[in-house]
């Protein structure tokens, strides 16, 4: 069954070489939609299942390129993966347990930063050398913060190219010390150390001087605590302890829906005269990205969340239920202090692309703050979103850790066409970044009459949302893929 995963990755690589453009224009969305399982939960589940003693079953996994990279890396630790029948509904992992070992080959993480940052601290717990590399994007992702943390834990950690803060990363284990002081602005390597602590012969202490992306640390804590691992996280996230060693038992889990994926049909519906229901929405609170609902409701978005049923109903434009005296579907920051929408994304920075896109149709200034970490993702997302939105007529600014969108609603307060609304069609680049590609594509259905939007190289969407365009087209998005 492993062959299917490798075939999928080969297909993705071929698409990236060939290119795949998405073309769209004004339309209305209608119907019910489900987004795939959470990438963050799926990769954590895979790695913890590989360490477990016994057989684990993972239901509703995300069969994305990143998650398949993680699944394909598990046999290097001694685990076995079965991708099930034809629907990928359940993945089975035979954990290595007590026989888990040093990766027996170079770990190629593909395009998965999560796998790189999660698995490298785990590999460091074994005596001997391990090597981590990946595709071109990964070989430009920062890794010195990981190397520094591993050195503090008593390991050798080396970057192979002098003067290049990026993989290949070479690690000489095992861990012999149990105290790390690091900034924590990127959360994934911190989660990696927390998971690795289950293999350490002592209590790991992590001091974070500038913790960001903290909901993901909470997600890791909840996973570990569910297995009985003793974890302590300070309210300000500056002090974390994990008691090891702690054996992981086999488990059966269902992966919740991915809020990072929910954001895209959500904003597309709000920007158009649409009404959709997003089903199977995660209400557990384990994903910080669900805060986008409150953010958008603060500017008048018509979003109803039935937590008991797990359904999110979204109405945009003329289908929206407006407050008394307001234009239905008109999003505006004018009632907020200084007429500005301030969105602090320190806890869920991957939402920057979706928030920047929807900000184009919000009357007033949207200031996306505390997102300096987004300059170190698959792309510099602050720079990329600014550059591409300006091609579509949007007035933007940027700072070292912020992105400012001066947006306008299509309609004025009196319900007439807004002469200040300048969003128009054109051709934009994705830069091979899945979140950039999906966010820009969602602007297509919101285009003015007669305008067309082309987003280049959108095959990268498979990294986190396989079948994104097929799913969106089932509710009327009308994407043409060339």
Residues identified as active-site? 350
Is the Cβ–Cβ distance between 355 and 292 less than 8 Å?
yes
**105 neighbors 75 (Cβ within 8 angstroms):** no
Q: Nearest to residue 38, comparing CAs of 348, 400, 270? A: 348
CA distances from 65 to 49, 114, 459 (A): 19, 12, 11
Put residue 399 in one of left, alpha, beta given phi > 0 → left and psi -120 to 50 → alpha: beta
Q: Which residues pair with 257 in a beta bridge?
A: 37
Cβ neighbour number for residue 74 with a 10 Å cutoff = 23
In contact, 209 and 181? CB cutoff 8 Å? yes
User: Tell me, what DSSP letter sits at residue 250?
Assistant: P
DSSP-derived 3-state class of residue 253: strand
93 dihedral zone (left: phi>0; alpha: psi -120 to 50; beta): beta
CA dist 281 and 298 (Å) reads 20
- How is residue 6 written in tokens? 């490798």
Q: Count Cβ neighbours within 10 Å for each residue of 184-216 and write b for 16 or more, e otherwise.
A: bbbbbbbbbbbbbbbbbeeebbbebeebbbbbb
């Amino acid at each position: 069954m492993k062959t299917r995963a490798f075939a999928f990755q080969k297909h993705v690589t071929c698409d990236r070489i060939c290119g795949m453009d998405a073309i769209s224009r004004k339309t209305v969305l209608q119907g019910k939609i489900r987004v795939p399982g959470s990438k963050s939960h799926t990769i954590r589940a895979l790695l913890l299942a590989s360490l477990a003693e016994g057989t684990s079953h993972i239901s509703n996994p995300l069969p994305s390129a990143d998650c398949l990279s993680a699944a394909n890396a598990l046999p290097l630790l001694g685990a076995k993966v079965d991708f099930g029948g034809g629907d990928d509904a359940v993945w089975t992992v035979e954990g290595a347990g007590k026989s888990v070992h040093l990766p027996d080959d170079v770990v190629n993480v593909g395009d998965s930063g999560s796998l790189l940052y999660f698995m490298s601290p785990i590999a460091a717990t074994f005596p001997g050398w391990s090597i981590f590399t990946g595709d071109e994007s990964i070989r430009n992702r920062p890794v010195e913060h990981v190397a520094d943390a591993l050195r503090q834990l008593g390991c050798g950690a080396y970057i192979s190219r002098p003067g290049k803060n990026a993989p290949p990363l070479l690690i000489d284990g095992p861990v012999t010390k149990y105290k790390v002081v690091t900034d924590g602005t990127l959360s994934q390597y911190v989660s990696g150390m927390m998971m690795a602590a289950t293999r350490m012969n002592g209590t790991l202490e992590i001091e974070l001087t500038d913790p960001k992306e903290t909901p993901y640390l909470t997600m890791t804590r909840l996973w570990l605590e569910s297995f009985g691992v003793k974890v302590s996280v300070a309210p300000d996230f500056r002090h974390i302890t994990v008691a090891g060693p702690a054996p992981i038992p086999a488990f059966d889990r269902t992966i919740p829906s991915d809020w990072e994926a929910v954001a895209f049909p959500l904003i597309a519906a709000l920007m158009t005269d649409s009404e959709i229901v997003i089903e199977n929405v995660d209400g557990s609170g384990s994903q910080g990205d669900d805060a986008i609902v409150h953010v958008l409701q603060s500017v008048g978005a018509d979003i109803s969340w039935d937590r008991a049923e797990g359904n999110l109903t979204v109405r945009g434009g003329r289908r929206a239920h407006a407050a008394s005296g307001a234009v239905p579907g008109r999003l505006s920051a004018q009632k907020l202090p200084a007429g500005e929408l301030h969105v602090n994304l320190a806890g869920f920075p991957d939402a920057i692309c979706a928030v920047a896109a929807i900000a184009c149709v919000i009357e007033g200034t949207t200031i996306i703050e505390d997102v300096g970490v987004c300059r170190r993702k698959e792309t510099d997302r602050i720079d990329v979103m600014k550059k591409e939105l300006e091609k579509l007529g949007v007035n933007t600014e940027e700072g070292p850790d912020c992105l400012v969108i001066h947006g306008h609603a299509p309609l004025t307060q009196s319900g007439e066409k807004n002469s200040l609304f300048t969003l128009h069609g054109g051709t934009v680049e994705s830069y091979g970044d899945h979140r950039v590609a999906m966010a820009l594509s969602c602007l297509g259905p919101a285009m003015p009459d007669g305008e067309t939007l082309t987003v280049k190289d959108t095959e990268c969407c498979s990294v986190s949302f396989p079948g994104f365009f097929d799913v969106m087209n089932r509710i009327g998005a009308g994407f043409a893929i060339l």
